[in-house]
């Protein structure tokens, strides 16, 4: 059985992100996965550092000496690297794996991993959080750590075109986009019967409230049957209060907790909205993780922010001088005629291609 060790800055039980999606992709094709979770403080007691979840999935708890935002000068980064290397050596021994597993690293400061895994294939996958982190006004320590990590990696992948362009100075970087996890299904209800605009994802401060306000005003103008439906979690309680208070004050806005897409009344949804503002991490997005799940339901997208977002006829902008009533009218008029293009786009983003890119082509025939 092929095997992979994923080095992450996340917990397994968090809302799924690219590291969880890669783990599930590998698991679904019979690859054995060890998921190294977010490093904790050295003072936190860890009763079971290695937890076997199933025959193919193990969760591994780790420790770090300093929070990433505190490693602002080289001596502090060096101290954390030495500490982390010792902890990871210990965890690998406790895991008891053979030495041919592929290492997939999602941390920007993983240069120490080459010492832990001197002969194994090391892939670094750079996600859009790095774009925000690298703008911290502290000595360029995030950029410095990422450069060192890229230079010790055998392969570097990034989830957006701006990140690929930026990383080319340190490594031969390739674009690694999300993939379709569900087949396309033809939407049955007519566009004229669809009066809901759906936001499905983290309800957080990345959302541009000025655009949501304009959408709310347009829903009011079109009639009481029109609504904005916001579905999803918020990671921090203070942000949740802020966002829910602001959204809840707008007319014809409905808010709902985390709900699987298939459990929502999609026959009433005209389009999915991703109304992001100018937060640094959104500027690096080429394709949001939820994009293909929404398109798989036949839903066009109304987006804002994300200047590098993939361009398709069924992805309509709400910013850059766009007129919101005209954008909604455009979706209504073209909803049915766009469906073949949406289906072809979803089918072109295959999980098999991403597996090959990660070097797991053998898993496709297993």
49: number of Cβ within 10 Å: 16
User: Domain 191-348's class?
Assistant: alpha beta
For every residue of 121-147, DSSP letters joined together read: -EEEEE-THHHHHTT-SSTTHHHHHHH
Q: How big is the chain, counted in residues? A: 366
> Residue 366's pLDDT is what?
59
pLDDT digits (tens, 9 = 90+) for 260-314: 999 999 999 999 999 998 777 788 889 998 999 999 999 999 999 999 999 999 9
Residue corresponding to tokens 């983003």? 349
Rounded to whole angstroms, the Cα distance separating 77 from 297 reads 46
pLDDT band, very low/low/confident/very high, at 350 (cuts 50, 70, 90)? very high
Angle formed at CA 152 by CA 148 and CA 157, multiple of 5 degrees:
90
CATH fold for domain 3-179+351-365: Rossmann fold (3.40.50)
pLDDT digits (tens, 9 = 90+) for 110-150: 999 999 999 999 999 998 776 555 544 445 778 888 999 99
* Residue boundaries of the structural domains of the chain: 3-179+351-365, 191-348
Residue corresponding to tokens 């709902």? 256
Of 131-135, 156-160, 176-180, 288-292, which range is least confident? 131-135
pLDDT digits (tens, 9 = 90+) for 2-43: 999 999 999 999 878 899 999 999 999 999 999 999 998 888
User: CATH topology of 3-179+351-365 equal to that of 191-348?
Assistant: yes
Rounded to whole angstroms, the Cα distance separating 364 from 351 reads 10
| 66 pLDDT more than 80 | no
Q: How many CA within 13 A on the CB side of residue 101?
A: 22
Rounded to whole angstroms, the Cα distance separating 57 from 360 reads 17
Q: Residue 64 is encoded by which pair of tokens?
A: 């770090």
Rounded to whole angstroms, the Cα distance separating 94 from 218 reads 58
Contact yes or no for 138/72 (Cβ under 8 A): yes
């Amino acid at each position: 059985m092929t095997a992979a060790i994923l080095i992450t800055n996340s917990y397994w039980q968090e809302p799924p992100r690219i590291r969880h999606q890669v783990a599930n992709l590998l698991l679904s094709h019979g690859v054995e996965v060890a998921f190294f979770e977010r490093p904790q403080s050295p003072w936190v007691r860890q009763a079971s550092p290695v937890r076997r979840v199933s025959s193919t999935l193990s969760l591994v708890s780790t420790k770090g000496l300093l929070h990433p935002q505190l490693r602002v000068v080289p001596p502090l980064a060096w101290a954390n690297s030495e500490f982390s290397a010792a902890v990871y050596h210990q965890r690998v021994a406790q895991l008891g794996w053979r030495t041919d597993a592929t290492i997939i690293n999602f941390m920007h400061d993983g240069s120490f991993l080459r010492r832990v895994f001197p002969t194994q294939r090391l892939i670094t996958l750079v996600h859009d959080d790095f774009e925000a982190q690298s703008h911290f006004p502290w000595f360029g320590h995030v950029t410095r750590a990422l450069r060192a990590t890229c230079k010790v990696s055998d392969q570097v992948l990034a989830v957006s075109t701006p990140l690929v362009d930026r990383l080319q100075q340190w490594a031969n970087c390739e674009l690694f986009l999300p993939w379709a996890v569900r087949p396309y299904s033809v939407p049955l209800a007519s566009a004229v019967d669809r009066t809901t605009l759906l936001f499905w994802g983290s309800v957080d401060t990345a959302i541009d409230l000025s655009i949501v306000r304009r959408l709310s005003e347009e829903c009011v103008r079109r009639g009481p049957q029109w609504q904005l439906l916001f579905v999803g979690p918020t990671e921090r309680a203070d942000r949740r209060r802020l966002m829910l208070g602001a959204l809840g004050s707008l007319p014809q806005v409905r808010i709902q907790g985390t709900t699987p897409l298939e459990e929502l009344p999609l026959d009433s949804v005209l389009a999915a909205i991703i109304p992001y503002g100018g937060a640094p991490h959104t500027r690096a997005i080429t394709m949001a993780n939820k994009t293909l799940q929404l398109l798989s339901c036949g839903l066009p997208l109304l987006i804002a922010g994300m200047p590098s977002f993939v361009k398709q006829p069924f992805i309509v902008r709400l910013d850059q001088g766009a007129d919101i009533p005209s954008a909604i009218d455009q979706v209504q008029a073209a909803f049915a005629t766009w469906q073949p293009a949406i289906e072809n786009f979803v089918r072109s983003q295959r999980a098999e291609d991403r597996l090959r890119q990660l070097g797991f082509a053998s898993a496709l025939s297993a």
